[in-house]
Amino acid sequence: MPRSHVDLRDGSTRLISVIEKCGYEGYNHKETFDGFLDFVEYQLDRFPSLFNQLAQFIREHQHPPTVEQVDQFPEPADLKPRWTAIQKRWKVQTLRHFAEGFAILLSEAEDGEGEATYADCLGEAYQNFVYSSTQSARGQFFSPEHVCELMARNTVGEEADAEAALAQRIDEQIAQSEHARRLLAIGELMGARITLQTRFNALNSDPSIKYRPLTVADDAGCGSGRMLLAGARQFPRWAVIERAVEFYGCDIDQRCVQMTIINVRLYGLNGTGYILEESKPTAQKAIKQGKSQQPLLFPEFEKPNRKKVYA
């Protein structure tokens, strides 16, 4: 278990326990953690195809598939080589542990009311277990989450301030869009409730306007991405999901970049959380009835840039 005195959230403790189990199968913690990151990235890449397959199955058979039937769904051709390599590298039991760890990440990504938690279980597991004995030599110490929260509030502002800055950016661009102004005027005449999200959607419907989002950057070494998550927490959820705000980070450590990419995708930053509207309702029903883990987000098909975290 962790050798740090830092109090960990329950999800991080369970994730550490999963990584520890892999050590009993002959793998060291470092290689296991790297393998887990590759496994999680692969699963996130597979989500769009998987949910389309679930929806197609239900349309054809009028009932959700069993877990065994889901296991028989073909791998997307572009992802199959990666899955084959993962299967060759790791024992079957280790892959089961990886799947358990992935389920923990997904379950910790939202609270009991379905709201995003922006919790950094991945970074906590890395910091408090994988490299707890060598961090000092590597010079890697991640800012505690409460410090990240304080810094985000001091720079981005609390939610009301962040929303005001976002409103200013949107309204500045609406002033340049006759199309958006007409749509909003029609809405007001019809008695519609015009929110900031409404104004953003009206602006985005203008093909002649390329929206310039607010940007939040962590260029001092993004670590596991928790500073970006703290920044995202200050904005309305819709603004994070719909890319009204963009988040950037960079790091010289490839593992840190990969952790940040995963956290960015888990919480839907930079448009990676767009939902596949057609398949979501039926697919979620299938997953619940199959007693499988319900995913929170469905990432884009585009693979993130590995050198810099655009995600």
Owner of token pair 């199968």? 25
Is residue 301 very low, low, confident or very high in pLDDT (cuts 50, 70, 90)? very low
What are the pLDDT digits (tens) for 104-148?
Answer: 998 898 888 888 999 999 999 988 876 665 544 456 778 888 899
Asked whether residue 218 carries a pLDDT value surpassing 60, the answer given is: yes
Asked whether residue 40 carries a pLDDT value surpassing 60, the answer given is: yes
DSSP letter (8 states) at residue 128: I
Is residue 300 very low, low, confident or very high in pLDDT (cuts 50, 70, 90)? very low
Is residue 303 very low, low, confident or very high in pLDDT (cuts 50, 70, 90)? very low
Asked whether residue 289 carries a pLDDT value surpassing 60, the answer given is: no
CB 121 within 8 A of CB 108: yes
CB 294 within 8 A of CB 105: no
Asked whether residue 299 carries a pLDDT value surpassing 90, the answer given is: no
- Look at 21-25, 31-35, 117-121 and tell me which has the smallest mean pLDDT: 21-25
Please compute the mean of the pLDDT values over residues 70-90 and round it to a whole number: 90
Is residue 288 very low, low, confident or very high in pLDDT (cuts 50, 70, 90)? low
What is the distance between the alpha carbons of residues 235 and 301, in angstroms, rounded to a whole number?
25
Is residue 302 very low, low, confident or very high in pLDDT (cuts 50, 70, 90)? very low
Owner of token pair 């959607």? 201
Per DSSP, what are the bridge partners of residue 247?
A: 216
63-72 contacts at long range (C-beta below 8 A, 24 or more positions apart): 64/282, 64/285, 64/286, 64/287, 64/289, 64/290, 65/286, 65/290, 66/290, 67/290, 67/291, 67/292, 70/286, 70/290, 70/292
- Look at 49-63, 136-150, 183-197, 234-248 and tell me which has the smallest mean pLDDT: 136-150
Average pLDDT, the chain: 81
Owner of token pair 């992935």? 102
What are the pLDDT digits (tens) for 155-207?
Answer: 887 778 899 999 999 999 999 999 999 999 999 999 889 999 999 999 999 99
Q: Render the burial of 270-303: b for 16+ CB within 10 Å, e for the rest.
A: bbbbeeeeebeebbeebbeebeebebbbbbbeee
DSSP letter (8 states) at residue 293: P
User: In the chain, pLDDT over 70 holds for what percent of residues?
Assistant: 81
